[in-house]
Structure 1
Amino acid sequence: MAFHPNLDPELRAALEQAPLESFDWSAMTYQELADQRAQITAMMAAAPLPETRVTVEDRTVPGPEGQPDVRLRIYQPPEPGEDRPALYWIHGGGMIIGAPEMDDAMMIGYVERLGVVGVSVDYRLAPDHPHPAPVEDCYAGLAWTAKNAAELGIDPARVIVGGASAGGGLAAATVLLARDRGGPEILFQLLVYPMLDDRNSTPSSQEFTDAVIWDRGANLFGWTALLGDRMGTDDVPPYAAPARATDLSGLPPAFVDVGELEVFRDECFDYALRLVRAGVSTEFHLNPGAFHGSEMMVPDATISVRTREAREAALRRALGL
């Protein structure tokens, strides 16, 4: 593929050394998706945890009313403690793939450096489980975490909700649900290049028909899996696509970041601006020359290091560290 002229030079050099195989999402079948999920699950099962004193435990907790239970992956600091802050995390994967294990290293790092209790939710995936299953699973896990804060050593007044990509969109939606349902209380929201808008009508959504990771075709595939024929119509609630929310007031402070060279760029910028206009204290970062997930694919690039440092700095400020 031809690289965008604005691509960061360090990212470009890494991609030239190890070219990525292009994939046509528009031609993907749901059987191929199931096969890809199986491969990812096998890879994660075979990967050892990073060497750490952090305790990692899986708990099965009640799901949404009348629905299956939800698995939470809980990361505890090595030393016993009480009233710790918590990071409730929602993994990415375009609404169609992924699991908490994919973020083990990141979560363990946050627990080690910030002293938080990490909780990562294994929500049901589309198209097998379309909206509202994913966001309701995320909310059910959050509600259980808040209800059981004392057992987990968590201060219920210091819970951060965060997520990346599809998980960032689900984090924004879960925070909206918490506001509208009267709880749990959320201190801060960390929205990492969140997937927010099913309408796919922004300039960046239309521009990146050929992108390093997650192009327009992939985005259409993910939203169709979640919403089916409702995608892009007037019959989509904000808990499915937070960009649809008309009232963003009363939400917790937010951090939003996104790469310059990705589909989500404009919807993230617009959401951050609307948060500010609604009176929500918001920090926004547009990472120049970066593509979707580039800080994970090329972690040593200067822009990747800066991106991760900005997120952690925002968490530290929110927690008063």
Structure 2
Amino acid sequence: MNTWNLVDPELRPALADSLSLTLTHDALVALRQQRQQAALDNVQAFRDTGLSVEEHLISSPAHPAVRVCVIAPVTPGQNRIGILHIHGGGHLFGSPEQSLSLTGVTALRHDCVIVSVDYRLAPETVFPGSLEDCYAALVWMTKNAATLGIHPDHIGLMGDSAGAGLAASLALLARDRKGPALAFQNLMFPMLDDRTVTEENPNPVTGEFAWTREYNRFGWQALLGCEPGSEGISPYAAPARATDLTHLPPTWLGVGTLDLFLDEDMAYAQRLIRAGVAVEMAIWPGAYHGFNSDPQARVAQRAREQRQAWLAQFRPVAD
């Protein structure tokens, strides 16, 4: 089904100019290098807005070293919100530097500290490598909360797409390991369910643009190291498979009506609600995967504002 007529008119110019992805190993390597170099060239511009962007390397005898970027206002502060940010990219690409347009704005708006984790990517690293990287970053962030200027009771998760799926997995893992307590999870069009790849009756209006069913199969197969939809896939890999969603933190989810992840995100939100989790969900008409990066479209502006407005409730109350 051609769904171009369903796209918000203000989103169409950016969509028309977008390039399709070539998902091969050589193409991935080149894409990663190109995007990362462009992002590194722009880091100073974010520092000029009043942000500190600092690298840290988390080392552990039992775990490969994990690089994180700590993004915070240059003005010293204490007892700030702490956000562990997990970037998107289909599990295949992305980095903390490439997400500064989100994390920088968030740090300045909420006077908060963001730890953005440079987790290992697929297919070079399969599950659970990236999730363990994120867990190591969360533990480090919690242990160093005072040094980072973070209130230890106000640490939450934020992610987009595959990063939002990892955030949902991390919330489950932290709960089950009795690890750091989380104040919230903020999930933009999360990639939650490998079984979307094998649907017999897929939604006819989702997945035509930006992140297609073909891309989704590649991404899940790269992460899992096996065919998506197979038996025995861990719920920590695909959180939609989790049977127990109780005792998870308050959750915000956002997704567009043309996004491939629409159905799995709505189903997850409903299951969270039934498990007693406080949930706010936003669904934007005529919006495809990744639409929120459009600088001009009003639907993208609304999406960015709704996401940020929800986070404001978690700022610590001054004594």
TM-score band, normalised by shorter chain: over 0.9
Tell me the equivalent position of 1:33: 28
Q: In 1, are the aligned partners of 2:36 and 2:97 still within 8 Å (CA)?
A: no
Deviations 1:272-293 (A, max 9, x none): 0000000001001111110111
Tell me the equivalent position of 1:22: 20
Shift of 1:47: 2.6
- Secondary structure of 1:140's partner? helix
Q: Percent identity, aligned pairs only?
A: 44
How far, CA to CA, are the matches of 2:200 and 2:258 in structure 1?
A: 12
- Secondary structure of 1:263's partner? coil
How far, CA to CA, are the matches of 2:142 and 2:271 in structure 1?
A: 28
Scaled by the length of structure 2, the TM-score of the pair is 0.93
Higher mean C-alpha deviation, range 66-75 or range 215-224: 66-75
Higher mean C-alpha deviation, range 223-232 or range 173-182: 223-232
How far, CA to CA, are the matches of 1:199 and 1:2 in structure 2?
A: 23
How far, CA to CA, are the matches of 1:96 and 1:310 in structure 2?
A: 28
Deviations 1:92-146 (A, max 9, x none): 0000101000111221111111111111000000110000000110011001100
Q: In 2, are the aligned partners of 1:54 and 1:76 still within 8 Å (CA)?
A: yes
Q: 1:143 aligns with which of 136, 139, 142?
A: 139
Deviations 1:137-189 (A, max 9, x none): 00110011001111111111000111000000000001111100112010000
Q: 2:244 aligns with which of 247, 253, 258?
A: 247
Aligned residue type for 1:106: L
Shift of 1:6: 1.6
Tell me the equivalent position of 1:188: 184
Runs of at least 5 residues in structure 2 that lack an aligned partner in the other structure: none
How far, CA to CA, are the matches of 2:206 and 2:107 in structure 1?
A: 37
How far, CA to CA, are the matches of 1:308 and 1:209 in structure 2?
A: 21
CA RMSD, 1 decimal: 2.0
How far, CA to CA, are the matches of 1:270 and 1:209 in structure 2?
A: 15
How far, CA to CA, are the matches of 1:138 and 1:284 in structure 2?
A: 24
Tell me the equivalent position of 1:10: 10
Tell me the equivalent position of 2:42: 47
Alignment of 1:267-286 (within 5 A): 267-286=264-283
Alignment of 1:1-321 (within 5 A): 3-16=3-16, 19-23=17-21, 25=22, 28-48=23-43, 49-50=45-46, 51-62=48-59, 66-200=62-196, 201=198, 207=204, 211-296=208-293, 298-319=294-315
How far, CA to CA, are the matches of 1:123 and 1:42 in structure 2?
A: 18
Runs of at least 5 residues in structure 1 that lack an aligned partner in the other structure: none
Shift of 1:67: 2.5
Scaled by the length of structure 1, the TM-score of the pair is 0.92
Q: In 2, are the aligned partners of 1:230 and 1:236 still within 8 Å (CA)?
A: no
Q: In 1, are the aligned partners of 2:170 and 2:236 still within 8 Å (CA)?
A: yes
How far, CA to CA, are the matches of 2:184 and 2:266 in structure 1?
A: 18
Shift of 1:13: 4.3
Distance change (3 Å), C-alpha of 1:209 and 1:281: closer
Q: How many residues align?
A: 314
Shift of 1:43: 2.0
Shift of 1:211: 2.3
Q: In 1, are the aligned partners of 2:85 and 2:159 still within 8 Å (CA)?
A: yes
